[in-house]
A and B are shown apart, each in its own frame.
Chain A
């Protein structure tokens, strides 16, 4: 168990180091977050009710970021020839998948956090996007997105049409659960806190991550 955790940490560190030393990708995501924040802040300033604007943006922006992340997962490993070195190493497929999931979670989380802070900045200090309950909901959504991005990346790694299929598969997988976040986000922004839907949505996210792990093993190995 300790060995598995140690391997998981090494694999996640490897992905973080590779991404940090390839700054174009990460910078590109931050530029996307900044552009999205400008548009959303502008819409929020002129909207009568800011809650729907923020809620929809918190659904869409992380979903778009997860598309970029899907390409930096198994697909990048495959294109650089390193996926085979992981496949021949004596480590479980689930461990490799979870390392990608954790890395995707960190990357989507960091870029989403940057997006939220930029919205606060561009709206001149509107901090309604930063309330803790909303952040707990957003975190569970990011877990779900990280699992979906990793799954799509593993499913389509050998496809010749991956550049088109990754966004399509991601949106198809994200929409059913993702859209249920919008009313919860709106409630959270309005200050309505309810633990029951928060717990349910976390159970769905974590359960989905486990299912995605099992499915990815079939796709990759």
Chain B
């Protein structure tokens, strides 16, 4: 099945496509297929919420788009480049199901480190609107290892958005957050999209109500099916 979201009404070559192109992606870990020919296009400013039961391949699909896994077959292009290239990584922010910050460093040190790795000049976490929106100000001087899971998750989202990526890839962002924090993160993601930036997101069934503004696709038997 071939799905297209909000595609502009013109024919363009895949490598010129302003967004994400996933074409006929298959993935196997050795026995059987996890993904079976998934295809979609995602233009800037649009969203894809991938849902499905545990083990259906949501995280696998996200990791392939993020360049952390290679598809067994098929093509993935992020703004015209394969996801493992530096060009694609500059456009992408990734949040996985586990926080990816250094536990021995403070939140501020982590953010400053990743700002320099993403080439963000003169980054100041104290004037970062994402940090403010997530309520991280008072935790900036605290070591990540001393934070609760929810605050670590919020700090990780701030890390992924430090360079204001054109594409945000997020795996279960609301998992482990209380209701207020989940609402804040949902609003943050909404404001990200409103700035003409894209999101590919995987969510568990409990997270879906707060993300109902997103275009949705279910993974069924390794294939992506449009709709909730």
Interface segment, B45-53, B97-105, B217-225? B97-105
Enumerate chain B residues within 8 angstroms of A221, measured Cβ to Cβ. Answer: 84
Neighbouring A residues of B116 by C-beta, 8 Å = 6-7, 10
Which of chain A's residues 10-33 have a Cβ closer than 8 Å to chain B?
Answer: 10-11, 14, 17-18, 21-22
Q: Which residue of B lies closest to A18 (CB)?
A: B104
- Interchain CA distance A18-B96 in the complex, whole Å: 22
The interface residues of chain A lying within 8 Å CB-to-CB of B103 are 18, 80
Is B118 touching A89 in the complex (CB atoms < 8 A)? Answer: yes
CA distance A88 to B119 in the complex (A): 14
Question: Does A195 sit within 8 A of B, measured CB to CB?
Answer: no
A88 CB contacts on chain B under 8 angstroms: 66-68, 89, 92, 94
Which residues from A are CB-within-8-Å of B92? Answer: 88
**Residues A81 and B119 in contact in the complex (CB < 8 Å), given A18-B105, A89-B114:** no
State whether A85 touches B100 (Cβ < 8 A).
yes
Chain A residues near B177 (CB, 8 Å)? none
**Binary flags per residue of A123-162, CB closer than 8 Å to B gives 1, else 0:** 0000000000000000000000000000000000000000
Q: For B159, what are the chain A residues with a Cβ–Cβ distance below 8 Å?
A: 85
Flag if B100 contacts A81 (CB, 8 Å). Answer: yes
Question: Range of interface residues on chain B?
Answer: 20 to 34
Q: Mark B178-211, 1 if CB is under 8 A from A, else 0.
A: 0000000000000000000000000000000000
Q: Please report the C-alpha to C-alpha distance between residue A109 and residue B104 in the assembled complex, in whole angstroms.
A: 23
Contact status A90-B118, CB under 8 Å: yes
- Is there contact, CB below 8 Å, between B104 and A21? yes
Q: Which of A14, A22, A90 is within 8 Å of B90, CB to CB?
A: A90
Residue of B nearest to A93 (CB): B84
Residues in A with CB closer than 8 Å to B99 are: 81
B109 contacts partner chain A, Cβ-Cβ < 8 Å: yes
B29 CB, min distance to chain A CBs, angstroms: 12
B214 at the interface (CB under 8 A from A): no
Residue A49 lies at the interface, judged by CB distance under 8 Å to chain B: no
Complex formed: what's the CA distance from A174 to B149 in Å?
41
| Contact indicator B113/A10 (Cβ below 8 Å) | yes
Q: Which residue of B lies closest to A88 (CB)?
A: B94
Q: Is the CB of A87 within 8 A of B67?
A: yes
Q: Write out the residue numbers on chain B whose beta carbons fall within 8 Å of the beta carbon of A11.
A: 117
Taking A22-B104, A87-B67, A88-B66 as contacts, is the C-beta distance between A10 and B117 under 8 angstroms? yes
Contact A90:B67 (CB < 8 A) given known A14-B113, A18-B105, A81-B99:
no
Q: Which of B97-151 contact A (CB under 8 A)?
A: 98-105, 109, 113-114, 116-119, 143
B residues less than 8 Å from A7 (CB atoms)? 116-117
The 8 Å CB contact of B68, one of A10, A14, A84, A90, is A84
A86 to B67, CA, bound (A): 12
B11 located at the interface, meaning its Cβ lies under 8 Å from any Cβ of chain A in the complex: no
Chain A interfacial positions (CB closer than 8 Å to B): 3, 6-7, 10-11, 14, 17-18, 21-22, 80-82, 84-92, 221
Question: Would you list 22 pairs from A and B whose C-beta atoms are within 8 A, ordered by A residue?
Answer: A6-B116, A14-B105, A18-B104, A18-B105, A21-B104, A81-B99, A82-B100, A84-B68, A84-B94, A85-B100, A85-B101, A86-B117, A88-B66, A88-B68, A88-B92, A89-B89, A89-B114, A90-B86, A90-B90, A90-B117, A91-B86, A91-B117
Further 20 A-B residue pairs, CB within 8 A, beyond A18-B102, A22-B104, A81-B98: A3-B119, A7-B116, A10-B116, A10-B117, A17-B105, A18-B103, A21-B105, A80-B103, A81-B96, A81-B100, A85-B100, A87-B68, A88-B67, A88-B68, A88-B92, A89-B114, A89-B117, A90-B118, A90-B119, A221-B84
Top 8 A-B residue pairs of the complex, sorted by shortest distance between their CB atoms: A85-B100, A90-B89, A21-B104, A18-B104, A88-B94, A81-B98, A89-B117, A90-B90
